[in-house]
Amino acid sequence: MELYTRCVVCNKLDEDGGHLFCKCKYVKHLWQELNLEHVKLQLDERTSAKDMLQMIWELEEMECILMVTLADVALVVGKEPN
Ligand SMILES: [Zn+2]
């Protein structure tokens, strides 16, 4: 099975969900605009997707809503183009 590994936002090769959610240079602007850079710094310290999700669920309600929305946008944008 061949995987599509090009970032659909910045077009960089060999990237994964971590790139699209946290590391992509365009997504970093979203973190800034949502005033959630402090959350991103905490997520960067997590070592697994499970730890990241657990941290997100423990955030304040509005931060949690923004994080889930950002993750949803990343997933929608990250789907392979037709
Ligand atoms: Zn990217």
pLDDT in tens, 2-60: 777 888 888 888 877 778 778 888 888 888 888 888 888 888 898 888 898 888 888 88
CA of 36 to the centre of ligand 1 (A): 18
> Residue 2 C-alpha to ligand 1 middle, in angstroms?
19
Query: How many domains does the structure of the chain reveal?
Result: 1
Residue range of the domain that includes 52: 17-78
Q: Tell me whether residue 2 is in a domain.
A: no
In a domain, 3, yes or no: no
Question: How many angstroms separate the alpha carbon of residue 48 from the centre of ligand 1?
Answer: 20
Does some domain include residue 32? yes
Centre of ligand 1 from the C-alpha of residue 22, in Å: 9
Q: Whole-model pTM?
A: 0.64
Structure tokens at 62: 């509005």
61-78 helix and 25-33 helix, angle to the nearest 10 degrees: 150
What contacts 20, CB < 8 A, 6 or more positions away?
7, 8, 9, 27, 74, 77, 78
> Quick check: is 33 in a domain?
yes
pLDDT in tens, 53-67: 888 888 888 888 887
Q: Is 56 inside a domain boundary?
A: yes
